[in-house]
Structure 1
Amino acid sequence: MALLRTVPVDGSPETVGGLVTALRDAIAGGPAVLPVGPGETGVAGDPGEGAAVVIATSGSTGTAKHVVLSAAALQASAHATAERIGGPARWLLALPAQHVAGVQVVVRSLLAGAPPVVQDLRTGFRTDAFAAATHALGTARRCTSLVPTQLGRLLDAGGAALDALHSYAAVLVGGAALPAQLHERAVADGVAVVTTYGMSETAGGCVYDGVPLAGVRVDLEDGGRIRLGGPTLADGYLGDPRLTAAAFADGWFRTGDLGRWRDGRLEVLGRADDMIITGGENVAPAAVERVLTAQDGVTAACVVGVPDAEWGQVVAAAVVLDGALDPAFAERLRGAVRAELGRAAVPRVLRAVPRIPLRGIGKPDRAATARLITAEDAPAPNSTASHPRTG
């Protein structure tokens, strides 16, 4: 039986250092590693020969899964990333080390010949600590991986934090969709942003800026369901052959996401089970979010379907704004969605919120957002409503 070694990490450089050592051993053929964060527990099981890491992930369903990644898959991903972003680098780890994105920062660092510099996350992500950790990288070529929330905070902080961000040859951004306005702002400010798409089952990001990494295959099934293949695929789910057989077949992993090709690049439309069906028409929340966040004054958005007696569901949006959500601004937002996506996609309800509820390392919590939007039956001062086919 192959061994599985549980390694607790709490965001401190000391515990991450222990994980770095364990991962180095695992890649060299030692026991597979299960990194666990605060409050998480280990599991028993045989990950199989060649396994290097087991990643615990609840995904969007909340059901615990444990993804088994081989040393070969991790190294294929790390080598393909280095090739895409211009070569090896010193890496800053500013993400939780128990998630696949954090593990891959460690693997890329080890293959480049030096462990990562670790930002202490025990008290959360702080922009001043990011600047200090960046300085500790020295004069080497620098790379890091962030989620959109972290990128936005660094841009807002300015000063030493923004100077540090400018010093990176590549800033990989993933974990959640990058709002269009934030992306444009970062690029305009000279940040070397690289958008990434992937998941634990693909050893992290495997499509960069809409283009698959070397060796990665992308296929769209009828209806737009994304399938991914290539050397970065996981071996399956620990102790769950039924779930493994349902998701992995013939060298492909069938994701829960919908996508389309646009100008030769993969555009991810969001999860299939997030699709809103209103009056018999399908609306992709991610598409509406992209339009909303591209408008001046909107810093973030989360779109969900809420029940409606006449239409089945109607489109509802929680938005984070620079100012107030007055009727004129609400109509401008609706007009932008109508012009880009059609009448069915126009949000029936728009509610201004101070922040979008998040889960994991930065993904929008759609269930919590729906509860937030429907918490009050009547429109409040920060909420506007319109008829779904006239609005």
Structure 2
Amino acid sequence: MRLRALLAERLVSRGLGETRDTRPQASRLPVLVPVGPQEDPVEAEADMRRRLHAVPAGTDLVLRTSGSSTGTGRLVAVSARSLLASARATHARLGAAGRWLLALPAHHVAGLQVLVRSVLAGTAPLVVDTSTGFRVPALADTLHRALRGRDPVYLSLVPTQLVRALQDEEATRALRQVDALLLGGAAASTALLSRARAAGIPVVTTYGASETAGGCVYDGLPLDGVEVALDAEDRVLLRGPVLASGYVGAEPGGGACDVGQDTRYHDVSLAGGTGQGIARQEGGTPLWRPGSRLPVTLRPGFHLLPTALPGELPAKGGTGTVRVLATPDRGRLEEGRLVVLGRADGLINTGGVKVDPGDVEDALTGIEGVAEACVVGVPDQEWGTVVAAAVVLQPGAALDGAAVRRCARELLEGSHAPKCVEVLDSLPLRGPGKVDRRAVQLLLSRS
């Protein structure tokens, strides 16, 4: 694959790739911007020429986020070093390098990381043919070819792909034999995880983003070098070597290491004459401890936070500050494990009651015969906003929208139960296979 070859070249040029010669190369390589196979390369290049400005130093690739919730993707500047840090930590967590299957678009971070991991492992990835869309028989065929070898077999899927694979006996048998199936890109329902694990499939849930070079929290536990904390409103904060360089252009939060204007960090002092800057917060409260909670709310994006209390010396060789990514997601920490609760801006306010779409989706997919669900808020004259849902049924399920709604009303409180349920053949998707919530919202608003 051309993109894998370019990635290998980039890693070698940075002294990070498939070579014993770790001396950095002097050659200056252009920034890579992966594009999708269905995109017009001329239009893609013109779009990038308009948007590619103020690229952070050290950028090797620029990735475009899917914008599945907001409708507007961002340009994320990523270094080869952060990609490789993620790949190495993934292999360490899985126990060994191995043979990877590529079943996701390589121009998004999850698919791109499959290529980076294959470069690190020194193996060629097996590519699932998705030229006409994701097809379960093509996945099963590629899995059978991979399983003939001696190397551990790994792959990454999004929940929608796994839902479809579990409806096929041949694919399910093949998935049962892999060493790990990394499941990410979107939240997986409790029902889906239960079905997959009951089938004997070794699912590893992953959480991350383009800003973290892919998944950086596996089954709730951060990868080596990654640390997790929460801010005052339970927003998930991440730090570590996997963080991207920043955002490209003058987008909101676009600085490579910016402190949000809505925070109360107002002062920078020198610690112990070392010349190392340490940001202070009013009152001198410690701002960062892994697994802790910050007393202020950070807006989504990259921030500089101190590694020590004001007046303390930073760790030897340290800079006194660390870069932290404030994600758009809410979470909680349970005995060191991160539980992601959904987007901070995703709660549905209906008549003054806040409803978590994830809770409703879990209830809907727990109904026998419901395979997938997407819950959104739609306008309503009386309540302002009401809960609505689009569902996909299991093959042969004898249900309709009214029946699903009746079942939901038995499981959920009145304000949480969907006021309308639309049955679809498939949920609209965006990017690497994430459910396009804005498209679902528009669809349900018209029904």
Q: Does TM, normalized by the shorter one, top 0.5? A: yes
How far apart are the structure 2 equivalents of 1:287 and 1:303? 9
| Structure 1 residue 260: Cα displacement | 2.2
Q: Higher helix fraction: Structure 1 or Structure 2?
A: 1
Contact 2:401 2:423 in 1 (8 A): no
Find 1:334's aligned residue among 404, 409, 422: 409
Q: Aligned AA for 1:330?
A: R
SS at match of 1:367: helix
1:327–1:164 distance in 2 versus 1, CA, 3 Å: closer
Instruction: Tell me the equivalent position of 1:256.
Output: 328
**1:240 correspondence with 2:250:** yes
1:326–1:277 distance in 2 versus 1, CA, 3 Å: closer
Instruction: Tell me the equivalent position of 1:34.
Output: 33
RMSD over aligned Cα, in angstroms?
Answer: 2.1
Instruction: Tell me the equivalent position of 2:359.
Output: 287
112-121 vs 181-190, which moves further = 112-121
Contact 1:66 1:238 in 2 (8 A): yes
SS at match of 2:130: coil
SS at match of 2:371: strand
Instruction: Tell me the equivalent position of 1:387.
Output: none
Structure 1 residues 185-224: aligned runs within 5 Å: 185-224=195-234
| Structure 1 residue 354: Cα displacement | 2.6
1:114–1:368 distance in 2 versus 1, CA, 3 Å: same
SS at match of 1:266: strand
How far apart are the structure 1 equivalents of 2:57 and 2:401? 60
How far apart are the structure 1 equivalents of 2:168 and 2:233? 42
Structure 1 residues 74-153: aligned runs within 5 Å: 74-137=83-146, 138-153=149-164
Contact 1:144 1:171 in 2 (8 A): yes
Contact 1:269 1:285 in 2 (8 A): no
Q: Aligned AA for 2:422?
A: R
| Structure 1 residue 262: Cα displacement | 4.2
Q: Aligned AA for 2:340?
A: V
Contact 1:292 1:337 in 2 (8 A): no
TM-score between the two structures when normalised by the length of structure 1: 0.84
How far apart are the structure 2 equivalents of 1:373 and 1:64? 23
1:312–1:263 distance in 2 versus 1, CA, 3 Å: farther
| Structure 1 residue 49: Cα displacement | 4.7
Q: Which runs of 5+ in 2 are unaligned?
A: 15-28, 261-300, 305-322
| Structure 1 residue 139: Cα displacement | 2.6
How far apart are the structure 1 equivalents of 2:150 and 2:135? 22
Contact 1:55 1:100 in 2 (8 A): yes
For these two proteins, the number of residue pairs brought into alignment is: 355
Structure 1 residues 352-391: aligned runs within 5 Å: 352-376=423-447
TM-score between the two structures when normalised by the length of structure 2: 0.74
**1:19 correspondence with 2:18:** no
| Structure 1 residue 311: Cα displacement | 2.0
How far apart are the structure 1 equivalents of 2:408 and 2:335? 26
How far apart are the structure 2 equivalents of 1:75 and 1:133? 25
1:319–1:120 distance in 2 versus 1, CA, 3 Å: closer
Taking only the aligned residue pairs, the percentage that are identical comes to 48
| Structure 1 residue 21: Cα displacement | 0.6
Higher Cα Rg, which structure: 2
Q: Aligned AA for 2:418?
A: P
How far apart are the structure 2 equivalents of 1:49 and 1:113? 28
SS at match of 1:243: coil
Instruction: Tell me the equivalent position of 1:278.
Output: 350
How far apart are the structure 2 equivalents of 1:229 and 1:39? 33
**1:351 correspondence with 2:422:** yes
Instruction: Tell me the equivalent position of 2:61.
Output: 53
Instruction: Tell me the equivalent position of 2:24.
Output: none
Find 2:398's aligned residue among 312, 323, 338: 323
Q: RCO greater where, 1 or 2, for CA within 8 Å and sep 6 or more?
A: 2
How far apart are the structure 2 equivalents of 1:326 and 1:249? 45
| Structure 1 residue 326: Cα displacement | 7.0
Find 2:339's aligned residue among 267, 271, 282: 267
